[in-house]
Amino acid sequence: MSLVLSASNRPDKKAVAILKEGSVPVIVYGKGKENISAIVEYEPLRKMILKCQKHLPFTLDVEGKKILVVAKEYQFDLIHDTFTHVDFYMVDEKAALEVPVPVEFIGNSDVLRTSILTVVSRTILVSALSKDIPVKFEIDLALLTATNDKIRVSDVEFPKGVTSIFEPKRMIAKAAVSRAMKSAENESETAENAGGSDTTPAA
């Protein structure tokens, strides 16, 4: 079942007035396509963006004109924690699309009892047809077996039709040394140095 978000052609009003009325101004653009200015009710827009983020296509219905799009950019009011403008990109179903697919870590690793998980990249940029774009990549933390072990793009299983734009050696996460472990190691080294130092008695 395809996801549909209803929109209306943008009225001749300033963005501030549109936002006060409970809608958000949006722009729809695409390669070789004429831009479309529209407005979308805030709550349905918020729910759709939370669900699809910047990688899953959905249908934008602008007063009967149905357009397959992905959210490309957001403008955000940090004080009120609300969207103030969204750019949508028109999707060509026959052409590959570059989108950031989120990463989700699953499972566990014994090494994380003493180390901490440091996440370097929460998304992987991929190229795929719109129909092949995965919802997310699941990465098993069991890949980490020792402190300083790393999970790289090459460790991720990509479905058929999906290609990573990132280099295979690019790091996604690692089992880093925790502060407590570093502190314990430093204390141990200090104790060893103190115990092994030579002292010459005063004459």
Question: b vs e for 93-122, b when ≥16 Cβ sit within 10 Å of the residue's Cβ?
Answer: eeebbebbbebebeeebebeeebeeeeeee
pLDDT at res. 2 = 77
Query: Tokens representing 3?
Result: 């996801």
In the chain, ranges of CATH 2.40.240.10 domains:
4-91
Residues of the chain whose pLDDT is less than 50? 184, 187-188, 190-191, 197, 199-203
SS3 category, 63: coil
What pLDDT was estimated at residue 178?
75
Separation CA 87–CA 67 (nearest Å) = 13
Architecture of domain 98-186: Beta Complex (2.170)
- CA torsion 137-138-140-146 (nearest 10°) is 40
Per-residue pLDDT, 193: 52
| Domain at 4-91, CATH homologous superfamily | Ribosomal Protein L25; Chain P (2.40.240.10)
Q: At 33, which amino acid appears?
A: K
**pTM for this prediction:** 0.83
Q: Shortest CA distance to 185 belongs to which of 109, 119, 116, 114?
A: 114
Report the largest interatomic distance among the alpha carbons of the chain, rounded to a whole angstrom: 99
pLDDT of residue 203: 43
Contact by Cβ (8 Å): 140, 106: yes
Q: Enter the tokens of residue 2.
A: 């395809």
For residue 197, how far is the Cα from the chain centroid?
52
Residues 20-49 as b or e (16 or more Cβ within 10 Å = b): eeebbbbbbebeeeeebebbbebeebeebb
